Amino acid sequence: MIELDEVSVRYGSHEAVTPTNLRIETGEFFTLLGPSGCGKTTILRAIAGFVPVASGRITIEGRDVTGIPAERRGVGMVFQNYALFPHMTVAENVAFGLKVARKSGKEISRAVDAVLEATGIERHARKKPAELSGGQQQRVAVARSLVMGTRVLLFDEPLSNLDAKVREDMRHEIKRLQRDVGFTAVFVTHDQEEALSMSDRLLVINEGRAEQSGTARELYQSPATPFVCQFVGAANEIGPKVARALGLDAARRHFVRPEHVALAQAGDPQGVEATVADVDYLGSMTRAFLDVLGEPLQCQVPSGPSVDRLKAGMSVKVNLSRERILSFDGSS
């Protein structure tokens, strides 16, 4: 279990992370999600020990590690570019930590062989990192930490350097490893799809502040703040004219997800008048950009014969059901 108790981080006078509380269960796959520069990597680096905390306490498995240097925290880290030592072979990279710990040669080679096999890179043991594909490099990076018997692995946007296809594979790969080995994974990403698909729980961070934590479903269905609402999944902010037309409380902010915007034909008695400004055909889905009372609204509907007829300039009717509308206090 990793616990952050009122942890804050400062760079000079800039508070990069405001006091944050966080609890990550043992064996959990936990993701820190947020836009770039929001402080998610800073939190990760604070857990790893690369960034000193300005206040608060970090405990890992009950041990207070706040003042302990990185090399003695027993936390593994997988870097964005993997940070494999370019002058060492795969096997040497993996053996690095064991050598630091002054394990015997026999012990080292046994442990290295085992972890290389578990991660499926035993064939590449003698190669230098530069000879490996991105996916293989990532396995080495994970293996390098796992071999140490590390129970906590931190991932700093490790997939961002990969092609879309490999990326997908690697997501499953990391999940599989995490399940099989049973380590606690703390994963940093700005990619919400990645975060939603991989995590047991997530924390959404914005401008150094923890916005909301919970499972993917909780975050999507019941966002606690307008930011979470917009950042996790897509959301339209409903403009003042439409809000008035719908009779919504003008003092609050209202959002609706594109897939919850229902379209009807122009003659339909229900709904608000709208004009189609543009149409994006996405295969199974079609996205329409609408102009409602002079305010933009996106809508996403499954493709089909009636949807295929949508064209720019067409008049349609829009229906927004009240229970799909997410409302927040104006101040939040």
Partner 1 sequence: MTPSGMSRIPLVRSVLLVVVIWCAASFIYAPIFSVLRFAFAPEGDIGLGAIGELAGSRRVRTAIVNTLVVTGLSIITVNVIGIFQVAVLEYLRVGGRGFLRFAFLTPLIFVSVAAATGYGFVYGQTGALTRLLQSVWPALPNDWFTGTLAVVFAHTFLLTSFHFLFLRAAIRRVDYSTVEAARGLGASNMEAFARVVLPVLLPTIFATTLLVTYKSLGSFAIPSVLGGRRFDMVTELILTLNSLRRPDMAAMLSIGLGLAVILCIAAMQYVERRGSYVGGSKTPVPVERIRISSPFVNLAVHAAAYAIAVIQLIPIALVVLFSFAPARSIATEVLPSSFTLQNYVTVFSQSTAFVPLKNSLVMGASATMAGLMISLFVVNLAHRHANVGTTSLDLSFMAPWILPAPFIAIGLILTYDEPNLLVANRVLLGGFWILPIGYAVVSIPIMMRFLRAAFFSLDPALNEAAQSLGAPAFYRFLRVTVPLVLPVMILIAGMTLNVILSEYSMSAFLFNVNNKPLSIALFEGARSANPEQAAINLVYISLIMAFSLGIITLADRYGLGGGK
**Contacting residue, 4, 38, 75, 297, with partner 1 by CB under 8 A:** 75
Query: Can you list the positions of beta strands (E) in the chain?
Result: 2-11, 14-24, 29-33, 55-60, 63-64, 75-78, 152-156, 184-189, 201-206, 209-214, 236-237, 252-256, 261-265, 272-281, 285-292, 295-302, 315-320, 326-329
Give, for 194, the enclosing helix (H) or strand (E). Answer: helix 192-198
Residue 61: C-alpha distances to residues 26, 34, 64, 72, 324 (Å): 8, 26, 8, 14, 41
Q: How far is the CB of 200 from partner 1 (least distance, A)?
A: 23
Query: Is-contact 219 202, C-beta < 8 A?
Result: yes
| 266 touching partner 1, by CB under 8 A | no
Q: Taking contact as CB under 8 A, which single stretch among the options 64-72, 111-119, 170-178, 262-270 is the one that binds partner 1?
A: 64-72
| 49 touching partner 1, by CB under 8 A | yes
Q: How far is the CB of 146 from partner 1 (least distance, A)?
A: 11
**Contacting residue, 81, 133, 215, 315, with partner 1 by CB under 8 A:** 81
Site for partner 1 in 83-142 (CB under 8 A): 83-87, 96-97, 100-101, 141
Tell me, by CB under 8 A, how many residues bind partner 1: 29
Q: What angle do CA 31, 260, 282 make, to 5 degrees?
A: 80
Site for partner 1 in 141-160 (CB under 8 A): 141, 144-145, 148
Q: How far is the CB of 52 from partner 1 (least distance, A)?
A: 8
**Contacting residue, 6, 37, 61, 69, with partner 1 by CB under 8 A:** 69
Bridge partners (DSSP) listed for residue 76 = 153
Pairing of strands 152-156, 75-78: parallel
| 80 touching partner 1, by CB under 8 A | yes
Minimum CB distance to partner 1 smaller for 101 or for 266: 101
Residue 199: C-alpha distances to residues 20, 194, 218, 242 (Å): 20, 8, 12, 36
**Contacting residue, 79, 220, 289, 328, with partner 1 by CB under 8 A:** 79
| 73 touching partner 1, by CB under 8 A | yes
Residues that bind partner 1 (CB under 8 A): 48-50, 52, 69-77, 79-81, 83-87, 96-97, 100-101, 141, 144-145, 148
